Structure 1
Amino acid sequence: MSVSSPIELVCPAGSLPALKTAIDHGADCVYLGFKDATNARNFSGLNFDPAQVREGVAYAHARKRKVLLALNTYPQTDNWSSWTQAIDRAADYGVDAVILADPGLMAYAAKTHPQLRLHLSVQGSATSYEAINWYRERFGIQRAVLPRVLSMAQVESVVANTQVEIEVFGFGGLCVMVEGRCALSAYATGESPNCNGACSPGKHVRWEDTPRGMETRLNGILIDRFSEGERAGYPTLCKGRFEVNDETYYALEEPTSLNTLELLPELARIGIRAIKIEGRQRSPAYVAQVTKVWRAALDKLNSGGAAGFSVLPAWMAELNKVSEGQSHTLGAYYRPWK
C-alpha cells in the first residue's frame, strides 16, 4: 500500500496526565485502555475510568488529535460480556478506533457498531499480508499493528500487498515471547497476560531486602538480585538474571529498548502509516521525553526528506535516559540475511 500522508506518531497514555502530555508534546494519536482486563496493561494505578476517557477524548479532539482504545486481550466464555460492553462504551465515548485482537470481538464490533474504526492489535500476531487481508475482508479492519518479529524486507512485503494501513513499533520495550502468545508469566503465576492483561501481575510481585541484596520475586520465584545502588527494574521472567552452569546473567533477554530512529527514512519509503511508541506503564515524564524526540525526528523527515535526515546525537542522548538498560537495538528489523 503506497502512502503519501506523513507518518502518524502514536504515543502511550497510561493515565490522563500522560495523555495530555503526549498530545502537548506532538503525538498525532494516543492509545489507552480501561481499568480492567480488557487491555494488555491491566496494572493498578494505570488506565482510564469512563469520566477520564470522555475528558481525554475531548482534550484530544479539541486539538485535532486521535484517541485509540486498546481492547486487545482475549475474553473467555465466562466474561464475554465484559468485552462486548467495553466495545459499546468505546463507541459511545467517541474514540477514533478500537484496537482488537480477538476475532469474535471484531465480528461483534463490525456488526453492532459498523461506524467504529477497527485496528488489528499486535496481540493478534498477524505477520503476513495474507492474514491481514483476511481480517480486512472478514471484519473491515483499517489498520494492523505488526509484531516486532519481522525484518525490514518482510515488513516491506506486507505493506506492498495489502490495502490495510500498517503501524509498527518504533521505540520501547521488547520481549522474547511472540505477541499474543506469552507463556512465561502464565507459567509462573497461573494468569495469562493475554486474558488478564498483565505480565507479572503486581499481586504476585515481592521486593525484599536481604543480606545479599534487594531480591525481586514473582509468585515466589527469584527473578533478580540487585546490589546496593544498582538500578532495579520491574521483575519479569524474560528479563531476570538466572544462574546457568554456575554463571549468573540475563539468560533469556537482556534489558534493552527498541529504537528505530535511524530507520525512519526507510519506513517512510515503504509506506508505513504510523509509528507506535511503547510504554503505557511508564510515567508522563517518559511520555514527554520520548514524544518530543520522535516529533522532532518526524518533522525533520517531513520537511527535509530522506536525503536531509540524520539522527541527532541530542535525540539519542534523551532516549538513552529512558531506555531499558540504557541501551538500544534495531531488534528484528535488522536481519540482513532475511
Structure 2
Amino acid sequence: MSATGPELVCPAGTPAALRAAVDAGADAVYVGFRDETNARNFPGLNFSRAELADARAYAQARGTKLYLAINTFARAGDLRPWRQALDDAARIGVDAAILSDLGVLAMAAERHPDLRLHLSVQASAAHPEALAYYRRSFGIRRAVLPRVLTVDDIRAMGSQTDVEYEVLVFGGLCPMAEGRCFLSSYATGRSPNTVGVCSPAADVRYLERADGLVTQLGAFTINRVADGQAAGYPTLCKGRFKVRGEEAYIFEEPSSLNAASVMRQLVAAGVSALKIEGRQRGRAYVAQAVAHMRALRDAAVRGEPLEAGDLAGLEEGARSSTGAYRKDWQ
C-alpha cells in the first residue's frame, strides 16, 4: 500500500476498455496478449503487440501503470508462446508481468531480472510460507491473493511477509480453488488453466423452447430458465442440475463478488491493491465498475462514509456476495 492508499487495479480486454479504465480513474490496468498465454483467451479480446505498445503510451501519459497477465500454465514441451510473451513484455516496458506457472516464473527471473513480477491469483498462494517461497525463488514483488481468505486472514498475513498483496473486490466468483479449475475441459476439452478459456463461446448454445430458455455447453444442458428470467453465461460450475430428484445449483449459484461493504476493513488491513475482475466485459462495464470502486476506495482511505451505490446491473445473476471476506464458518 502506498502512502495514499491501495492501488486500484482494473481490467481491460480491449484497447477501448483500457482507455475507459484509465479515464475512469484506474491506478493500474491489466491486460493480456491475444493468445493462450493469458487466462481470458476469448475471441475478439486482448491485445496485439502493437496495441499493447499503444496502450502503454496512453496509460503512461496519464500516470497509469500497465500490467500484463501471462498467467496460464505453460504447455509441456513448448514454452515458445510464454517465452515470447515475456520477451515482448520486457521490450514494450510494461510495469509488471502477472505470472502463475513455476517454469514461466523461473524463465522470467532468469531472462528479465529487471521485470517486476506479480504472482497471479491462479497460483493460489494463500499463506505466508507460499509467498516467501515465491519471493525467495523468483523475486516476486506482489501476490494476488485467492478468494478464500477472510479480512482477518489478510490482516494477519501482512505482518508475516514483505510481499505486497492484492485482493479482488468486484467481479466473478469461482467455487474452485484458484488456479486449479479444469472443469470446463470435461465438456469442451479446454479450460482456463490450459488455454485460457472457460466455456469457449464456440461451445455455448442458447435454445428457445416452449418451457423457457435452455443454455448448453457442448453436449451438456447447463440451465433452463423461464421467460423473462436472466440467463447467465453457461459454465459447469454455475449450472443447475438434477441431483436425487431435485434441481439445484450444486456448485455455486450465479453471483458476483462485491466487497463494497468491507472496503474500509480491507484498506485498514494494509492491502497494496484492490482488483476488479472482468477482462471479458465491455467498456461500459469497465467504466462504471472502475468509477464506482474508485469512489469507494477514496472514501475508505479518507475515512469518509461509504456510498454503497448500485452495481446490480453489472452483477452476475443480479446478485452479489462478500465471498469469504465475511466468512463465519471454519
Letter in 2 for 1:50: R
Partner of 2:91: 92
**For structure 1, which segment, 222-231 or 252-261, has the greater mean C-alpha deviation from structure 2 after superposition?**
222-231
Residues 1:311 and 2:306 are matched in the alignment: yes
Describe how 1:1-338 pairs up with structure 2 within 5 A: 4-302=3-301, 304-305=302-303, 308=304, 310-313=305-308, 315=309, 317=310, 319-337=311-329
Contact 1:71 1:99 in 2 (8 A): yes
Contact 2:191 2:199 in 1 (8 A): no
Distance 2:206 2:261 in 1: 38
Structure 1 residues not aligned, in runs of 5+: none
After superposition, the CA RMSD in angstroms is: 1.5
Taking the aligned partners of 1:292 and 1:3, their CA distance within structure 2 comes to 20
Deviation at 1:245, TM superposition (A): 2.9
Secondary structure of residue in 1 paired with 2:67: strand
Alpha carbons of 1:336 and 1:241: their partners in 2 closer, same or farther (altered >3 Å)?
Answer: closer
Q: What is the distance in 1 between the residues matched to 2:317 and 2:167?
A: 22
Q: Deviations along 1:64-88, whole A, 9 cap, x unmatched?
A: 1001000000011233111111100
Could you tell me which amino acid in structure 2 is paired with residue 311 of structure 1?
L
Q: Return closer, same or farther for 1:337/1:129 CA change in 2, 3 Å cut-off.
A: same
What is the SS of the residue equivalent to 1:321? helix
Matched position secondary structure for 2:74 = coil
Deviates more, 1:98-107 or 1:186-195: 186-195
Aligned-pair CA distance for 1:5: 4.1
State the alpha-carbon separation in 2 of the partners of residues 331 and 230 from structure 1: 24
> 2:113, 2:16 → 1: CA distance?
31
Q: Which amino acid counterpart does residue 228 of structure 2 have in structure 1?
A: G
Q: State the 1:3 CA deviation.
A: 5.8
TM-score, scaled to structure 1: 0.94
Alignment partners' CA distance in 2, 1:300 and 1:5: 12
Deviation of the 1:31 alpha carbon: 0.5
1:37, 1:220 → 2: CA distance? 24
Structure 2 counterpart of 1:158, one-letter code = M
In the alignment, is the contact (CA less than 8 A) between 1:4 and 1:271 conserved in 2? no
Aligned equivalents of 2:176 and 2:150: distance in 1?
Answer: 16
SS at match of 2:253: coil
Tell me if the contact between 2:39 and 2:197 (Cα under 8 Å) persists in the aligned partners.
yes
- Secondary structure of the residue that 1:184 maps to in structure 2? coil
CA contact (8 A) 1:33 1:41 kept: yes
Unpaired stretches in structure 2, ≥5 consecutive residues: none
Equivalent position amino acid for 2:164 in 1? E
Cα deviation digits, residues 2-59 of structure 1 (max 9, x gap)? 8644110000001101000001000000000011110000101111111211111110
Contact 1:3 1:272 in 2 (8 A): no
The size of the alignment, in residue pairs, is: 330
Q: Check the 8 A contact 2:182/2:193 in 1, yes or no.
A: no
